[in-house]
Structure 1
């Protein structure tokens, strides 16, 4: 009788096949569906982005339609709503169109040269051995890690009129290769950073020097992902180096170049620190780009922060248009 009771109790305590006890179930967050947990984990990051990026952009957009000066910053007067008056002022100013031309021309030249130099260095790194490639990569990344203000200081000293290495090196060249400017016996004393064209030549060199390492390392990473069998097949077919690069390397690296081009356009359109140091402040209006023009309008007395904000909004719109148009072209090419 005792045996029968024990067996019955054992049968009742064991769960049915395919079922689990309540204590074995996975714990569940109280009142939270499972699908909401990833979104909740994103909330802290989104709050940081909203506080650091979204809120300043909204305030900048509002300020672009207001008259904001030193009195409004101090709080003695409220900001005056002026509508499109700030945009009308900058669009009717010749300095804006000169700054826009400088920005576009500089960005086109700097982006092109940075991509060409960075791609060439990336291909070279791919052909080097592991130790030498690592050594060159570390050396290049030192240039990329230099802060923008320090970049400007370095290249301002190199292009100095009296003691710069650039003028010293040009003096070593024969006159048929690099003749001094008219009226000068030598290159010493040539003011590279006073006129607009030489100033932007120095700025292009500075930006390309600092920007090509990132392009080179990105291209090197893309080259590592291309199957080596494609190059072996091209070599068997008798394809030359340039034909192989144009038919295999470039198509395979197209997504990499798309991202690098968009990033380079955004970075070079917004160059400010290097130009500010090379120019020694907003002194030459003919050499302004849009970023320098915005800072000069916003912070030089009398302060006109509304006008500076309007210039920044125009620059942001131009960047969005250029980026969208370029990305659409890339998508169309991929679809074709």
Structure 2
């Protein structure tokens, strides 16, 4: 009896030591990652927050003089700017449009891939990988040539189909609406592969027995998708949706490259390009714009983040 009583505390002590050792090992493995994140994300982020409340400019950096604290003046100046509300609305509108098309198109392609044979599925996968592998700038240049005013394939094709010359020298990028159309095509074309592959991987985790049972019970294809497939892959789609919202709020390369090919910057700016064009060296104002972009992205993504956290719980 006494031996048993003395063994129990010894086992408890060994268990505590084991947990302490595992905790130390886990933190030792995490320290390099935490240090890298603090260096690559934390320091620039804190610098941006500090600069957004100052009048820090390039002259302060050159002369080595400290910036003056201006409080919320930078934010007030930006929010009351005549063109900022338009740029903000355009950015959110493009984000909603591209994200919706990317998510719907990606999921549809993933479902289609589950119905294809091995050869066709391989062919579709290779095509998606090629589209995904092309850098955004390269893709924008190629699509810019396709919609080129004088030598574009689209204008030639429309003239051929209609049998007229009405589309000769038609400037697609000059009109803000057709500019957004071309931009949407480029962004959706390049982003759909990621959603398609991720959704296809999620579809592979749906139990086949559950689908067969739903089919036996008389559920149609749409009912099986909403009742069985969608709940199973909803966490995956939620994470992908958050990423797409963030990525599509940060569009820069495609917009800037299309503007360089004929788009009018004042009529087609989005927030990241607006930040870039706001003024080189005006670090205080540009940092304030960066802060607003981060706040807007977090506000838009917060609902989906809460849903993901509830599902994890």
With normalisation by structure 1, the TM-score equals 0.81
Q: Is the aligned partner of 1:38 residue 2:23?
A: no
Rounded to whole Å, the distance in 2 between the matches of 1:123 and 1:152 is: 28
User: Are the counterparts in 2 of residues 65 and 310 from structure 1 also a CA contact under 8 Å?
Assistant: yes
Rounded to whole Å, the distance in 1 between the matches of 2:32 and 2:63 is: 32
Aligned pairs for 1:56-205 within 5 A: 56-174=44-162, 185-205=165-185
SS at match of 1:94: coil
Rounded to whole Å, the distance in 1 between the matches of 2:245 and 2:123 is: 29
User: Are the counterparts in 2 of residues 298 and 309 from structure 1 also a CA contact under 8 Å?
Assistant: no
Rounded to whole Å, the distance in 1 between the matches of 2:193 and 2:173 is: 25
Rounded to whole Å, the distance in 1 between the matches of 2:28 and 2:219 is: 54
Specify the alignment match of 1:280 in structure 2. 260
Q: CA deviation at 1:330?
A: 5.6
Specify the alignment match of 1:316 in structure 2. 294
User: Are the counterparts in 2 of residues 162 and 188 from structure 1 also a CA contact under 8 Å?
Assistant: yes
Specify the alignment match of 2:3 in structure 1. none
Rounded to whole Å, the distance in 2 between the matches of 1:268 and 1:34 is: 40
The alignment of Structure 1 onto Structure 2 pairs a total of residues equal to: 294
Rounded to whole Å, the distance in 2 between the matches of 1:188 and 1:312 is: 41
Deviations 1:91-129 (Å, cap 9, x if unpaired)? 011211111001110001000000111111111111112
Q: Which is further off, 118-127 or 68-77?
A: 68-77
Deviations 1:1-45 (Å, cap 9, x if unpaired)? xxxxxxxxxxxxxxxxx9xxxxxxxxx9xxx95531210221111
User: Are the counterparts in 1 of residues 239 and 308 from structure 2 also a CA contact under 8 Å?
Assistant: no
* Consecutive unaligned residues in structure 2, runs of 5 or more: 1-6, 8-16
Q: Closer, same or farther in 2 for the Cα pair 1:230/1:173, shift >3 Å?
A: farther
For the pair shown, the structure with the greater C-alpha radius of gyration is 1
Q: CA deviation at 1:239?
A: 2.5
User: Are the counterparts in 2 of residues 271 and 291 from structure 1 also a CA contact under 8 Å?
Assistant: yes
SS at match of 2:132: helix
Aligned pairs for 1:13-28 within 5 A: none
User: Are the counterparts in 2 of residues 143 and 213 from structure 1 also a CA contact under 8 Å?
Assistant: yes
With normalisation by structure 2, the TM-score equals 0.87
Rounded to whole Å, the distance in 2 between the matches of 1:198 and 1:118 is: 23
User: Are the counterparts in 1 of residues 54 and 70 from structure 2 also a CA contact under 8 Å?
Assistant: yes
* Consecutive unaligned residues in structure 1, runs of 5 or more: 1-17, 19-27
Specify the alignment match of 1:294 in structure 2. 275
Rounded to whole Å, the distance in 1 between the matches of 2:210 and 2:21 is: 49
Give the root-mean-square deviation of aligned CA atoms: 2.3
